[in-house]
Amino acid sequence: MKVLKLIIKNPLRHKLRTTLTILGIAIAVISFGLLRTVVTAWYVGVEGSSANRLITRQAVSFIFPLPYSYRDKIAQIEGVKNLTYANWFGGVYIDKNQFFARIAADAETIFDVYPEFMLTKDELETFKRERNSCILGEGIARQYNLKVGYIMTLEGDIYPGNWEFIVRGIYRPRDKTTDASQMIFHWNYVNERMKEDMPERSGDIGWYIVQIEDPAKSAIISEQIDALFKNSPAETKTETERAFQQGFLAATSAIIDSMNVISFIIVGIIMLILGNTMIMAARERTREYAVFKALGFSGKHLTQIILGESLFISAVGGGVGLVLTFPIVVAFEKVIPKGFFPVFQIEPITVILAVSAAILIGIAAAIFPIQRALSTKIIDGFRFVG
Give the model's pLDDT for residue 48. 62
Q: What is the dihedral of CA 32, 33, 34, 39, to 10 degrees?
A: 90
Give the model's pLDDT for residue 254. 66
CA angle 288, 290, 293 (to 5 degrees): 115
Candidates 243, 296, 341; CA nearest to 41 is 341
Give the model's pLDDT for residue 9. 74
CB within 8 Å of 161: residues ≥ 6 apart = 193, 197
Give the model's pLDDT for residue 371. 82
CA gap 275, 303 in Å, rounded? 15
Q: Are 91 and 158 in contact (CB under 8 A)?
A: yes
Sign of CA dihedral 239, 240, 243, 249: positive
Is residue 231 exposed (0-12), middle (13-18) or buried (19+ Cβ within 10 Å)? exposed
Secondary structure letter of residue 168 according to DSSP: E
pLDDT mean values, one per 10 residues, the chain (386 residues): 70 80 85 83 67 89 86 92 91 84 92 92 93 91 90 88 92 85 92 80 84 90 92 90 74 69 78 75 72 78 81 88 89 71 77 85 82 78 63
Inter-CA distances, 161 with 92, 157, 164, Å: 11, 8, 10
Interhelix angle for 299-335 vs 348-375, to 10°? 150
Is this structure's pTM higher than 0.95? no
